[in-house]
Structure 1
Amino acid sequence: MSHFRKLQLTYFISKISHTCLKPSQSPRFHSAKSAPQSALKNCDFKFPSKVRKEAQVALLEYLHSTRSLQFLDADNMCKNSPFFLNDILSKVLQKKKIDTAASDVKKSISRYLRYHPINEFEPFFESTGLKPFEYLHLLPRNMMFINDDTVLMENYHTLCNYGVPRNKMGKIFKDAPQVFRYESGVLVSKFQSYEELGVASSTLVKVISLSPRILVGDVDLYLVKVLEKLNRLVGEEKGSTWIEEQLLDESSCNFGVMHELLCLLEKVYSDKKLLGEMIGQHPFVCFEDSGVWALSLIVFLVKLGLSLDQIAIIFVKFPQIGVLMFLSNLRKCFTFLSDIDMHAAEIGNIFQSHSLLMGSFTIKKSSSLLSSLNVGKKRVCKLVQDNPEGMQNWAVGRKIQPYPEDKEMRALKTEFLKTKFLLSLGYEENSEGIKQAFKLFRGKGDELQERYDFIVNAGLDAKDVHEMIKASPQILNQTTDMINTKIEYLVNEGYPISSLVDFPSFLSYTLCRVKLRLSMYNWLRDHRVVHPRLALSTIVACSEELFLRLYVNRHPSGLQVWQDLKSEIYPENNNMI
């Protein structure tokens, strides 16, 4: 049965992808975009309320008494046409002061209307909810008086008598203007057709106000089917009142899309009672933009590998944030996981187990988050894999604390910097030479680089330092302070720093050994028992036994001087070399 439901779901998704969700065929789900401010008349409604009320009374008397409009029509036109009224007041009172005009404004407006007949279509269209820039193209060229257009007014009154609010008819003029050109009796027959199919008159009035195109052409069977399904799922006891409450004034309804969604949800939920409870608790799933975002959400989740049961649970536990916001959050999480180079299979696993969580919050952008956490992409991947729930701590608006480096990450960083340094010295990557160098060099990559730079800055050529390090890698296993002390001692003893190029191992010997050997050599040289220009390597590198036999023992007092120097340089251990 589960496999059969999966096949049915695949069929519906394929159908939806080729019909409902095509951008070029997307239904209208939002009201018309607002026009630029420049498109509106320069109307700031600056006149006091008392002045405006007096003007409304004058206009009402003119339309009802002089022009013989029905009182309700005239009253609606006076009270719901602020742009038109403001225009009249500006013309009449432009040369008068507002505070002195309030008392005789009604008289002034009446006098003006007596000699300046108005285009009644302007306040009429505005009273239906249209702005001036929206009804300009609707103004007839050969008529000024609204009662002259008998067909328009007959259909207008038919809608009013049925219960459609006058100030909601502007949407009909925008979306289905042909409704007002119907012959006598056509509208009434359309109302009767829907009622005979079970649509309550109050529900039909609400739907007409939102989607007037149901009055164009044949009966919209999708509307009838949607209402039948909803009544069956949520229970007849709620009746049409519940459905009317879900129809938002600012939205249009595409009942074809909503019907597709309900059919798809019936494939997702094998238990119709559970589906009814879900819709009753979360009606926005069906009614938010006619369900188009819920359709997109289902397609998105199926592509990520979620099962029907998992999708059903998500809708039952849906957060009260709206489907569009939930879907947007999911997509941002998907983008984030892709940005940190997580494998597709792992992304699917996380979504299959934590979609409800990830749709409930808005995650920060990957660039901002990586900077705040102060870690790399691999570390973030591991954090998400180990604890997906922790992602909610990275939501927009939350303060992010940098993560401390763990031992593994520090080791990886150290290895990377060390490899980078060795490659700069000319070692080949993954060669035996670099593997041996790894064992010889002690310290972090940045420390090795710092010691190398210090030796170069001491006055040696970078190429010479390269060769020195290759010959004696251990010279970089010391701190810069120790290297500096040995170089200073060497120079103070009269040796040029360039002597380190021929004998780089000098920096590897202890300072005590160097001091003892050079001090003894200087004494022997002063007593002319050794060659005055012995190489630095000859003095320092040979063993103590050989140094004593070849040089110290040449002078009768040499051994005694050696012991005295050793006691002075090695005060704690005379046996140290």
Structure 2
Amino acid sequence: MFLSRNHKRASKLPEMIAKLNYHVLFSPIVYVKPTAKQDPSFISLKVRCFSTYRLSNDANVSVTESSQLPNFTSRVSRIARTEALEVLFDYLHCTRGFSFTDAEHISKNSPHFLQNLLSRIDSEKDVARNLTKFLRYNPINEFEPFLESLGLNPSELPMFLPRHLMFLSDDRVMLDNFHALCDYGIPRSRVGKLYKEANEIFGYDYGILALRLQAYETLGLSRPIVIKLINCCPSLLIGGVNNEFVKVLERWKKFGMENNWIGGYLSGKRTYNWNRMLDTMDFLDKVGYSEEQMRYLFNSNPSLLFEGSGKTIYLLFGRLLKLGLKMDEIYSLFTHNPHILSGKRLKNLLQAMYFLLEVGMEPKYIASIISTHIQLLGSCTLKGPKTVCKELKVGRYDLCQIIKEDPLKLFSKASKSKIKNSEQASSQYPSIHIEKTTFLLRLGYTENSDEMMKALKQFRGRGDQLQERFDCLVDAGLDCNVVAKIVKQAPMILNQTKAILEKKIDCLRNYLGYPLDSVVAFPAYLCYDMERIRRRLSMYVWLRERGAAKPTLSLSTLLACSDARFVRYFVDVHLEGPATWESIKGHQP
């Protein structure tokens, strides 16, 4: 028995020696640098052992295993990598029967997996032959290069690799849905996001996914917009058409905005809460925003909806409530200052609130300043409290008292904007300048813009006078937004007194018989002097009564032409025309 045991041990000895020799021969020897106090005689050599495919019982190549392997990236030449890529393509296309497009995309877009393959062969000699031989006897887990080529990070793969499956052909349903996405136009490299965030769609029965995609086109969205939308919000493909998204589109349609408008503002780096967007629009509707105002608001500042899905509006509303403003007061602020939510103004308003809180102002005073000067708070970018205190050489308490006594000093002392030379005359009367600026902000001008600077020169009069003239046009029957539009087109309109504007409106309506909307097509009518209007309209009415002129000529035809042209076409066309024209010119109103 003793001899038999020794015989068995002796028979195993060559095998043990062979394994030991293999580890010593094929394991790199690492030199360990001695420390300063180390005895040179004790410098050690560490043998680092790596597990290789020759010692592995697992036949397939796995990325998860390769994470334990050393990084050979720097050792592999470009030629070797190119040869390996071609071998992997041939293996997938010719051996495994992948389509040309699938095999090409997977082989070219799975660099980590390819590197793993190269680490398992001698990548310095005949890479093509060695890798072909390796793949012949070592089938790969095809899901690994496939998922990597879709854009998944190699570190994420273990979470998404299916159990007990190695070949893509084993999951035909998943492949069919993948091809449905590709055929629709979704980039293959973006499918990985859908695989992570909406994995359920890859289990749909044949044809279902294509119908879901088509359903969004029936809403009026173009295919490129649907592709972008799905890339940003994969969850839209889960279940039926997203009802909240449909309601958002319906609201935009009421505002006069095209469905494809959304395409310019979607970003794959953000998530979108369609329900919150609906709540935001409902809130603005309750506050008193008209559909026209909301259209202008979202067109000029789409980030209100697409950055945080409307969260910023709720943030401002909540802070105003905390300051002590009542609900109806906040509604009134939003209603009378609809542009305060647009662009930089909202940011400036929030910054001003922080400024006043930092200098120690009580909430009731902050609420009072906001209620009185909300337009200016939105128009001015303020410096930090530390900077202002340093420039004025006062403490925060003193700065707070200065602002309490005269809130307008907040803008003169803390505003970053500098008054240009063209405004120096206005700076001598800061209250007049501020009132005028406030009025222009209501019209939709942007703070400190070239357009604003030009408007400050063009509009003459105090802010209250300009507002009175503006209200005159609104009271006459024009829509507020229409008046704002025509005034921006022809600023000279508001440089006239209210009495002159009323005379021109009366002449248009009661003498000529034209509707007030006629000035929308030709705002310059209100800019011509009253004498020119009286003479030409009187001549035209005289001709019209005698059938010598068309009954509804445009105002621009009557007023914009030169005197010589007017005489030719509206005076000389009738035998009694010249005499009548001279009589009209000689008549004093």
Match among 332, 339, 347 for residue 316 of structure 1: 339
Deviations 1:66-124 (A, max 9, x none): 11112222222223223222322333356x3xxxx6xx544444343333322111111
Classify 1:330/1:119 alpha carbon distance in 2 versus 1 (closer, same or farther; 3 Å). farther
Look up the equivalent residue of 2:146 and give its one-letter code.
F
- Cα deviation, residue 186, structure 1: 2.6
Give the structure 2 partner of residue 91 of structure 1. 120
Match among 77, 91, 110 for residue 62 of structure 1: 91
Aligned residues of 2:381 and 2:415 also touching (Cα < 8 A): no
CA distance in 2, matches of 1:318, 1:181: 44
- Cα deviation, residue 346, structure 1: 1.3
- Cα deviation, residue 149, structure 1: 0.8
Q: Which aligned pairs between 1:398-437 and structure 2 lie closer than 5 A?
A: none
- Cα deviation, residue 215, structure 1: 1.9
Match among 280, 297, 305 for residue 299 of structure 2: 280
SS in 1 for 2:89: helix
Look up the equivalent residue of 1:265 and give its one-letter code.
L
Deviations 1:375-431 (A, max 9, x none): 222211134434122465579xxxxxxxxxxxxxxxxxxxxxxxxxxxxxxxxxxxx
Classify 1:363/1:52 alpha carbon distance in 2 versus 1 (closer, same or farther; 3 Å). farther
Classify 1:307/1:88 alpha carbon distance in 2 versus 1 (closer, same or farther; 3 Å). same
Classify 1:159/1:186 alpha carbon distance in 2 versus 1 (closer, same or farther; 3 Å). same
Classify 1:74/1:351 alpha carbon distance in 2 versus 1 (closer, same or farther; 3 Å). farther
- Cα deviation, residue 42, structure 1: 7.8
Aligned residues of 2:232 and 2:270 also touching (Cα < 8 A): yes
Q: Which has the larger radius of gyration?
A: 1
Give the structure 1 partner of residue 395 of structure 2. 376
Look up the equivalent residue of 2:339 and give its one-letter code.
V
Aligned residues of 1:234 and 1:280 also touching (Cα < 8 A): no
Classify 1:311/1:113 alpha carbon distance in 2 versus 1 (closer, same or farther; 3 Å). farther
Give the structure 2 partner of residue 213 of structure 1. 235
Task: Give yes or no for the alignment of 1:338 onto 2:354.
Answer: no
Classify 1:333/1:153 alpha carbon distance in 2 versus 1 (closer, same or farther; 3 Å). same
CA distance in 1, matches of 2:281, 2:144: 43
SS in 1 for 2:310: helix
Q: TM-score, normalised by structure 1?
A: 0.52
Aligned residues of 1:125 and 1:170 also touching (Cα < 8 A): yes
Classify 1:331/1:317 alpha carbon distance in 2 versus 1 (closer, same or farther; 3 Å). closer
SS in 1 for 2:279: helix
Deviations 1:28-77 (A, max 9, x none): xxxxxxxxxxx999879645655544433322222112111122222222
Classify 1:359/1:43 alpha carbon distance in 2 versus 1 (closer, same or farther; 3 Å). farther
Task: Give yes or no for the alignment of 1:247 onto 2:276.
Answer: no
Give the structure 1 partner of residue 108 of structure 2. 79
Task: Give yes or no for the alignment of 1:159 onto 2:181.
Answer: yes
Look up the equivalent residue of 1:90 and give its one-letter code.
S
Give the structure 2 partner of residue 226 of structure 1. 248
Aligned residues of 2:293 and 2:338 also touching (Cα < 8 A): no
Look up the equivalent residue of 2:270 and give its one-letter code.
S
Q: CA RMSD in A?
A: 3.5
Deviations 1:521-577 (A, max 9, x none): xxxxxxxxxxxxxxxxxxxxxxxxxxxxxxxxxxxxxxxxxxxxxxxxxxxxxxxxx
Look up the equivalent residue of 1:186 and give its one-letter code.
I
Look up the equivalent residue of 1:283 and give its one-letter code.
P
Classify 1:390/1:92 alpha carbon distance in 2 versus 1 (closer, same or farther; 3 Å). farther
Deviations 1:246-268 (A, max 9, x none): 11121122211122222223334
Aligned residues of 1:318 and 1:356 also touching (Cα < 8 A): no
Aligned residues of 1:210 and 1:249 also touching (Cα < 8 A): yes
Deviations 1:421-454 (A, max 9, x none): xxxxxxxxxxxxxxxxxxxxxxxxxxxxxxxxxx
Give the structure 2 partner of residue 420 of structure 1. none
- Cα deviation, residue 209, structure 1: 1.4
CA distance in 1, matches of 2:68, 2:355: 43
Task: Give yes or no for the alignment of 1:261 onto 2:261.
Answer: no
Match among 145, 149, 159 for residue 123 of structure 1: 145
CA distance in 2, matches of 1:338, 1:303: 12
SS in 2 for 1:350: helix
CA distance in 1, matches of 2:338, 2:266: 20
Task: Give yes or no for the alignment of 1:184 onto 2:213.
Answer: no
Look up the equivalent residue of 2:94 and give its one-letter code.
S
Give the structure 2 partner of residue 110 of structure 1. 132
Q: Can you give the 5+ residue segments of structure 1 that lack an aligned partner in the other structure?
A: 1-38, 396-577
Aligned residues of 2:72 and 2:119 also touching (Cα < 8 A): no
Classify 1:124/1:112 alpha carbon distance in 2 versus 1 (closer, same or farther; 3 Å). same
Look up the equivalent residue of 1:168 and give its one-letter code.
R
SS in 1 for 2:97: coil
Classify 1:371/1:196 alpha carbon distance in 2 versus 1 (closer, same or farther; 3 Å). same
CA distance in 2, matches of 1:51, 1:359: 62
- Cα deviation, residue 292, structure 1: 2.5
CA distance in 1, matches of 2:68, 2:215: 40
Classify 1:50/1:389 alpha carbon distance in 2 versus 1 (closer, same or farther; 3 Å). farther
Q: Which aligned pairs between 1:176-575 and structure 2 lie closer than 5 A?
A: 176-236=198-258, 239-240=259-260, 242-301=261-320, 304=323, 305=325, 307-308=330-331, 310-311=333-334, 316=339, 326=347, 333-352=352-371, 353-354=373-374, 357=377, 361=381, 364=384, 374-384=393-403, 385-390=407-412, 392-393=414-415
CA distance in 2, matches of 1:311, 1:158: 47
Give the structure 2 partner of residue 401 of structure 1. none
Task: Give yes or no for the alignment of 1:140 onto 2:162.
Answer: yes
- Cα deviation, residue 196, structure 1: 3.9
CA distance in 2, matches of 1:166, 1:65: 21
Classify 1:141/1:224 alpha carbon distance in 2 versus 1 (closer, same or farther; 3 Å). same
Classify 1:50/1:393 alpha carbon distance in 2 versus 1 (closer, same or farther; 3 Å). farther
Stretch of structure 1 that moved more, 279-288 or 112-121: 112-121
SS in 1 for 2:120: helix
SS in 1 for 2:151: coil
Aligned residues of 1:121 and 1:139 also touching (Cα < 8 A): yes
